[in-house]
Amino acid sequence: MTNRATLIGFVAVLLWSLLALFTVGTSPVPPLQLTAICFSIGGMIGLIWAGFYGSFRHLMRINWRVYAFGTVGLFGYHFLYFSALRRAPAAEAGLIAYLWPLLIVLFSGFLPNETLKKGHIVGALISFAGAAMIVLNGGSGFQADAMVGYGLALLCALTWAGYSVLSRRLGNIPTDSVAIFCLATAFLSALAHLALETTVWPQTSIGWASIIALGLGPVGLAFYVWDIGVKHGNIQLLGVASYAAPLLSTFVLIGAGIANATWALLIAALLITSGAALAARASATISKD
- What is the per-residue pLDDT for 142? 67
Q: pLDDT tens-digit profile of 130-145?
A: 888 877 766 656 677 7
pLDDT at 288 over 90: no
- What is the per-residue pLDDT for 11? 96
Higher pLDDT, 233 or 170: 233
Residue 284: pLDDT band by 50, 70, 90 thresholds?
Answer: low
User: pTM for this one?
Assistant: 0.87
User: What are the DSSP calls for 64-130, one per residue?
Assistant: HHHHHHHHHHHHHHHHHHHHHHHHS-HHHHHHHHTTHHHHHHHHGGGSTT----HHHHHHHHHHHHH
- What is the per-residue pLDDT for 193? 96
Residue 44: pLDDT band by 50, 70, 90 thresholds?
Answer: very high
Residue 54: pLDDT band by 50, 70, 90 thresholds?
Answer: low
Higher pLDDT, 269 or 138: 269
Do 244 and 276 form a contact (C-beta atoms < 8 A)?
Answer: yes
Measured CA to CA in angstroms, residue 196 lies from 35, 82, 83, 223, 281 at distances of 13, 11, 11, 26, 46
| Gap between the Cα atoms of 281 and 43, Å rounded | 36
Mean pLDDT of 174-197: 95
pLDDT at 287 over 60: no
Q: pLDDT tens-digit profile of 250-268?
A: 888 888 887 777 777 778 8
Cα Rg, the chain, nearest whole Å: 18
Residue 196: pLDDT band by 50, 70, 90 thresholds?
Answer: very high
| Gap between the Cα atoms of 281 and 286, Å rounded | 9
pLDDT at 1 over 60: no
| Gap between the Cα atoms of 158 and 256, Å rounded | 32
pLDDT at 192 over 90: yes
User: What are the DSSP calls for 138-149, one per residue?
Assistant: T-----GGGHHH
Mean pLDDT of 22-41: 92
